[in-house]
Amino acid sequence: IQSSAALTSLTTTTSEKTLTHEQAKQLALKQIKDRRNNKNATIKFGLKKLDRLLGGIFTGHYVIVGMTGSGKTALAIDVAISAAIQGHSVLMFSAEMNSVELIYREIQKTIGISVTNMRTGEVTDSQLERIENYVTSPNFYVNDIGRIDIDELVSTATLHHRKHGLELLIVDYLQLLTTTKFPNNENSQIKYISNQLKALSKSLNIPILTLAQYNKTVDPGDKPNSNDIYGSGSIKHDAD
């Protein structure tokens, strides 16, 4: 057990700077005061039960896991739109849905016109006017390039952070990210990708919300658990 004097001299190392234990305490105190004085400083999921349980979205790596077609993307979009409406800068990498589809979802969530009707053009004159007058959130950015190398994602997100003050990054979804490292070893690739996302959250001091798939071998009738996540060992280790 270390004395309080020794603890004060502890240092916390990040990729950008080294803080003494006292400096880290002052930084924590500042965050507490900022959040006390400005309730909007905390990003909310926009889902009452989750916000009550977790208090909001804080710096770290969050993983949402589900079977194919279970609504992971829809949930992530809802969180992204909610955060953007709160005034937070959000970047979403989407391999599942293009930018137009995401706009459809945003319009449906905010002004109540169904995605199906927009896709088919079955909208009334008044609905069309509402869509024309609807101003999308300037804080919500989408990269729908599809499969992307994790190192390219890190570079893109870091540059975006410098330009726009990124506050929330969403990745849809983890198993569609690629890397040229560890060829022919998928488990090592998943581990590397998961590690890079964790490191990115720490270096940019932002929350990252990553979607992930359960293994296809999970029986639809069984209740899956964390061991059924593809690449579960490293994903569980790096998730907050």
What is residue 67's predicted lDDT score, i.e. its pLDDT? 67
Contact 70, 234 (CB under 8 A): no
Helix ranges restricted to H, the chain: 4-8, 21-37, 48-54, 72-85, 99-111, 115-120, 125-133, 150-164, 186-204, 232-238
* CB 44 within 8 Å of CB 83: yes
* pLDDT value of position 7: 33
Euclidean distance between CA atoms 60 and 50, whole angstroms: 16
The gap between the terminal CA atoms of the chain, to the nearest Å, is 26
Lowest-pLDDT choice from 78-87, 95-104, 160-169, 195-204: 95-104
| pLDDT over 80 (residue 131) | yes
The C-alpha atoms of residue 95 and residue 92 are separated, in whole angstroms, by 10
pLDDT at 235 over 90: no
Q: By C-alpha distance, which of 109, 175, 95 is closest to 143?
A: 95
Mean pLDDT score, 110-133: 91
Between residues 229 and 179, the one the model is more confident about: 179
Name which residue leads in pLDDT, 124 or 23: 124
What does each C-alpha distance from 55 to 39, 46, 103 come to in angstroms? 11, 11, 28
What does the pLDDT read at residue 173? Answer: 77
Paired tokens of 204 = 């940019």
Helix, strand counts (H, E) of the chain: 10, 9
Cβ-proximal residues to 45 (8 Å cutoff; 6+ apart), any chain:
51, 54, 56, 57, 79, 82
Q: Looking at residues 196-224, what average pLDDT do you find?
A: 78
Whether 90 contacts 139, CB under 8 Å? yes
Q: Specify which residues 93 forms β-bridges with.
A: 143, 171
Residue 14, pLDDT above cutoff 60? no
d(CA 119, CA 105): 11
Give pLDDT, residue 236: 47
What is the C-alpha to C-alpha distance for residues 218 and 221, in angstroms, rounded to an integer? 8
Q: How high is the mean pLDDT of the chain?
A: 79
